[in-house]
Amino acid sequence: QQPVQSPQAVILREGEDAVINCSSSKALYSVHWYRQKHGEAPVFLMILLKGGEQKGHEKISASFNEKKQQSSLYLTASQLSYSGTYFCGTVSNDMRFGAGTRLTVKP
């Protein structure tokens, strides 16, 4: 089953913050976050593991609630380069992606 992401889209001004949420109906081993720019391949941002370990970019922060099978990605002081579609990938037996959240950052 695919995880559910919200919101579907968000528009920000440079410097504003955003939160993207991801939830799954299945018990998870980990949650991955990726960003895809139009016409390009998804690029890894962060992985959050059961037990609290995280690996990823220093400027990106996220949380993982194992009991609720939920994760949130926090984008602070957004820059124009943050624009793209953000996908969460949830890992139980395999890695399934949500439908994505389209983030647009305007000057």
Residues that bind other proteins (CB under 8 A): 2, 29-30, 32, 34, 40-44, 47, 49, 53, 55-56, 87, 89, 91, 93-100
Shortest Å distance, C-beta 33 to other proteins: 10
Tokens 């002081």 sit at which residue?
Answer: 77
Structural tokens at position 104: 């647009």
Structural tokens at position 95: 């890695």
Structural tokens at position 82: 């943050």
Between 58 and 94, CB nearer to other proteins: 94
Between 16 and 49, CB nearer to other proteins: 49
Shortest Å distance, C-beta 29 to other proteins: 4
Q: Which residues fall within 8 angstroms of residue 53, CB to CB, at 6 or more apart?
A: none
